Structure 1
Amino acid sequence: MTILIPSAILTPTGIMTEHAVAFEETIVAVAPSDTLQARFPDADILEAEGPTLLMPGLINPHVHLEFSANKTTLKYGNFLTWLYSVIEEREALVNACGRECLDRTIAMMLSNGITAFGAISSHGLDLEAAAAAPQKVVFFNEVIGSQAAMADALYGDFLQRLDASKSVERPGFFSAVAVHSPYSVHPALIKRALRVARDEGLVTTAHYLESPAEREWLDRNEGEFKPFFHELLQQEYAVNDAAGFLELFTDTPTLMTHVVQAQPTELEALSRAGHTVIHCPVSNRLLGNGAIDLDALEAHELTWLTGTDGLSSNYALDLFEEMKIALFMHSETPLLPLARRLLNSVTVDAAKALRLNCGEIAEGKAADMLWLELDHTPSDDTPLHLLLQRYPFRRIFIDGISPKG
């Protein structure tokens, strides 16, 4: 048993002082330190000089690992420009990101306080690295393919990758299902993948209404996607429209990523079906997709999370950086309340959406925690300072242990 005595604890509602945490793999109790030391007299005591804060480990709900070799290879500023560069450089980037690159990327997340993540896997090339990660991992096996003639083969490949991920036997690793997007997956393939997810009780995710180009293609079969699909697939029409895509997920609450271009009717449909939105501020900016309206999400009672996306559309897998960018991106939203909502979006809310028993300093939760050294006495403004100042970690804990890496 260990008792950690911080100056303050970050909770979903604010800052709690004069409390300590007793933990092993899970958090056993949260109470005043004298109470815990009397209850557990043989416990190891962790206490530091100077002000410190204990907070939940961060949860990155949406990251692509397979293109982590990218730094300056891909082109930014417009979604289709970026997509063409991905297609052109795909083989080189995948070949450049072997196990060492993947391990380095996972270690980057850990060094940034990310103790759990949702990995969107298109090809399964990241499975071994994700399985060996110190973090908790929800491993989303992705289906993609808009041509009906290829549906059987693509579905078979998806099942093989899903079975491979299900063969991983370690605590904290969970197989899941991803549907790429409305424009890239035929409805027949979506239905089959979602049936598997429902039958097996797997978490699901999808990209939805990320770019203006997607909006125009789904609505009118026009815009920048028209020559893209004509040239590459000889396809003249979108295989889904925005509303029809959502209808396929009616009985499958899903983590819908981006949602930048959604209209009020679609936000209402997302809310009615119990979906969750994942906001990726840096990726949206780099690909020229605009900024999501967080206030509109909340007006429709939609839970939203914050994710990094992958290094194909980001420069770092760093949720503190992502939250800081969001503070400035959403300039019309009051600052301190937004900081608190952002912190919840990568802790307690992300844990609930990914069905993980962590994300909160509370009895019975996994002891996934960040112990930070502050330069000030904790106050009600500390959630904002956490995003602006980037305080150093004294210790990172996953299941009560400080992992290597």
Structure 2
Amino acid sequence: MAISDVKEYAHLTPEEVEALGAEFDAIRRDIESSLGERDAQYIRKVIRLQRALEIGGRTVLFVSAFRPAWVAGTTMLGLAKIIENMEIAHNVMHGQWDWMNDPEIHSVAWEWDNTGPSEHWKHTHNFLHHKYTNVLGMDDDIGYGVLRVTRDQKWRPFNIGNPVYNLVLQLGFQYGFAIQHLELGKVAKGRVDREEFARKRRVVLAKIGKQVGKDYVFFPLLTGPSYVSTLTANLTANMIRNVWSNVVIFCGHFPDGAEKFTKSDVDSETPGEWYLRQMLGSANISGGPLTHFMTGNLSHQIEHHLFPDLPSNRLAEAAVRVRALCEKYDLPYTTGSLPAQYFKSWRTIVKLSLPNKYLRRTADDAPETASERMFGGNAVATINPVTGRRRGLRTARVERQSIRRGAGRPISHQ
């Protein structure tokens, strides 16, 4: 089962959870109080770079009939779309730059280069996903209504197609964003007001029409005799962006260690418990400056979920302090390289295409989600009498993994 008692699972007392929350609040206050011109220059430079890449790419595609020009133009346009969606639009729509009071870079005004309407995405993502992160039955991003990504989701014959569905979802990820807010599953069950659904559908179809017209009609026609090659270049650039976005998002939410939760206690959780759930339900991607930039700094997914409206360029700074708090409270800090995190996500998707009876682990101690029951009720933190250090969730998980691998005895917390 998914985690129902986050405090018990994390080996923290209520007092420790609130103390942890206060320390997270301090990180937020420190960064917010230091925001200034350096940060404003950063986002403006990113926007200039993105626009230069898009203009350059579309200009080169005027001669896209020549193969080298097609490759160069497609690459530039694909990069421009990634940067616009990941480092600019996603973060602007989170309100990360609202403090600048710049109408051009404000969450209310930004409409992104994507078939999903911004107003819809801000509800499904900013509100539902970030408030109810990885809470089964409340966060639609858990499998996007298509994929089975935890044993707590009941297996149905439909799930046998998990790997195929994910491939399709990758290639057309922007259309997944577009229809997510329509809640088609609820529509099929008659649980959505028809007039409201019709209104949302009109907004979605209008945005899809705008994007299709721009990328597959207007700009290709603008290049005249290069129409067909420019059209394929635009299609390829969109697919590059779609696949990359899918990879980054899945690496942040579905690798081993990104936990899932039940909805039994979420409505009564304290701010400290919310912070704790965000941290336990997210995973980071390790890498250098280029990796962080091209992921929209969602390589710092843990920090983004803790502080979703802090500017993305400051998340690396926050990460240093968040890791230190994980050390202090002996909590896991889930991170790994992009290939490793992506492999684990795919492994989960492939495994869970099968019924639970064919899987080795139970719903309590599966690598893609665990529960407090995996510790047999022994979820109380202790102090190592030799080192004087706290023994909490991270040490307990390492010890359990050591025993499972045949080491024969728990390791000590050094």
Please, what TM-score do these two structures have when normalized by structure 1? 0.23
* More relative contact order, 1 or 2 (CA 8 Å, 6+ apart): 2
Name the one with the larger strand percent. 1
TM-score, with normalisation over the residues of structure 2? 0.23
Which structure carries more helix by proportion? 2
